[in-house]
Amino acid sequence: MHKETARLLELDREHSLVMHIGAILGWDQETYMPPKAIEERSSQLALLEGLAHQKAVNPEIGELLAALEAKSDLSEDEKAYVRVVRRDYDRETKLPEAFVTEYAKEASLSQAAWADAKKNNDFAAFKPHLSRMVELNKKRAHYLNPNAKPYDVLLDLFEPGSTQESVAAVFAKMKSYLIEILTRIRERPQIEDKCSGLRVDKHTQERISQYFMKVLGYERDRGRLDVSAHPFTTTLGADDVRITTRYVEDYFPSSLFSTIHESGHALYEMGIDPNPDYRGTKLAEAVSMAVHESQSRLWENIVGRSPAFWERHFPALSALLGEVGEGLDLESFVKSINRVSPSLIRTEADEVTYGLHVIARFELESALFDGSLNVEEVPEAWRAKYRELLGIEAPDDRQGCLQDVHWSMGAFGYFPSYALGNLYGAQFWAALKKEIPDVEARISGGDTSAVLAWLRKNVHVQGSRYTPGELVKKVTGQALDPVWFEKYLREKYSKIYGF
């Protein structure tokens, strides 16, 4: 290893430490912090953010990068490391200080305005903030790369290497098969949700969550499970990856599947280890949002909602549910948790319709940034998209264009990652099945360790060694192709719905 790399690692580790300290405070804020502590907590977090920023823009990093980039004898890991450090260093240093301050202030006002607007179903009150966030993000994109289309620059922040064109091409294919599969499902008799309304107390739901974390191989000595308003996974250190869930008393599958989902994220974080010399640095971070989401969704949907998985675990679930679960049998449970029904709210959507919610947002964002859609037209454009894609009518903006927090924070280009995650997940799964043809038999026999071992070896361990595009090619032998998700959905739902 070159001495410049060693020094870069040292500086990077200090930055990671500050970020992890911030994550501890953030985790506490969402789980145990008493409400009145919010004011000082905000100051604490702002102080740490400033400290992290100072460390990230240290000119010594620029000098070390320049020295390393001039060398022709870097190892493969050094090359990958220089690439990710360069990417983050440019992002931090290209934005003028005054812009960063202004952006942070406007984003926090915008978020507060959005929360009120959503509560009062008042898009007009949020409109000026949305305009401002679009405008500021065009500016931000220009600072980062004046030669690229603004929306391409923003997409690249979440899914490195992706562009509006590349995402649109993938989504066009996905849109046509999702609509076709949904139409077939709608022609079949509807499935009744037998889980809805069963009252399962929090304590029992927590025991169910703990049981499934153990089944999946979540390491209890490297993390913990707590409760928060919105479930999340957070990394506080290489050996401290925590998850949260929430308990809905009359719908236990909510906590069950959010725990499995977050465990999927955590298993990824726990498995990252590209090279022991790079522990606690940017090389040991997840490759992208979409690849992260592929891990959570693979465990939640492909494994966790499969008949094979429940053949093995339904008896344990029944025992944990006790009397409440007496009317529930394996077949109706598996059908209930795979019920497809177009709905207005993205976060409650099933596997088939989820992608359509994301496509609606992607198409609207694209139009906002290429100038073909004005901010005041968003509510009507939203309703039109939902009519077109899902065949349903949003009765108000609260359940329409005001439902998600993302745009109020200025996170344009984030939504596509969620749907790309499903596509990556299905493509990884197809590759896994080729190598382990009896994987379903193993799962129904109670063994998911082969799945975890395969993901560890192929995806988790790599960290940021490859770009997402390189990783999917290396692991599956081809570029991202939405056909794998289509195959998976057709096979699964033609059985469930009998078409």
What residues are annotated to the active site? 262
Q: How far is the CB of 232 from Zn ion (least distance, A)?
A: 8
For Zn ion, the closer CB: 263 or 296? 296
Residue among 296 and 464 whose Cβ is closer to Zn ion? 296
Q: Report d(CA 159, CA 154) in Å as an integer.
A: 9
Stretch that binds Zn ion, among 170-178, 223-231, 250-258, 295-303 (CB under 5 A): 295-303
Site for Zn ion in 422-461 (CB under 5 A): none
Alpha carbon 419 to chain centroid distance?
9
Looking at 234, 255, 296, 464, which residue binds Zn ion (CB under 5 A)? 296
Cα separation, 198 vs 267, whole angstroms: 30
Q: How far is the CB of 333 from Zn ion (least distance, A)?
A: 23
Least distance between Zn ion and beta carbon 13 (Å): 27
Give the residue with the Cβ less far from Zn ion, 298 or 451.
298
Nearest to 371 by CA among 156, 132, 150, 130: 150
Q: Are 301 and 293 in contact (CB under 8 A)?
A: no
Binding part of the chain for Zn ion, among 107-115, 198-206, 207-215, 293-301 by CB under 5 A, reads 293-301
Question: What size, in residues, is the chain?
Answer: 499
Phi, psi of 233 (to 5 degrees): -120, 140
| CA atoms of 325 and 380, how far apart (whole Å) | 43
Span from 31-39, 105-113, 288-296, 394-402 in contact with Zn ion (CB under 5 A): 288-296
Closer residue to Zn ion in complex, CB, 381/451:
451
Contact indicator for 333, 191 with CB cutoff of 8 Å: no
E-only strand ranges, 248-349: none
How many of the chain's residues bind Zn ion (CB under 5 A)? 1
Count the alpha carbons within 13 Å of 135 in the hemisphere toward its beta carbon.
12
Task: Please report how close the Cβ of residue 265 comes to Zn ion at its closest, in angstroms.
Answer: 6
> Exposed/middle/buried for 485, CB within 10 Å: 0-12, 13-18, 19+?
buried
Amino acid at 152: D
Which residue's CB is nearer to Zn ion, number 15 or number 357? 357
Q: Is 245 in the site for Zn ion (CB under 5 A)?
A: no
Q: Find the shortest distance in angstroms from Cβ 427 to Zn ion.
A: 18
Candidate segments 1-9, 31-39, 292-300, 430-438, binder of Zn ion by CB under 5 A:
292-300
How many Cα atoms are found within 13 Å in the side-chain-facing hemisphere of 95? 21
Residue nearest Zn ion, CB atom distance: 296
Q: Which letter does DSSP use for residue 433 in this model?
A: H
Q: Which residues bind Zn ion (CB under 5 A)?
A: 296
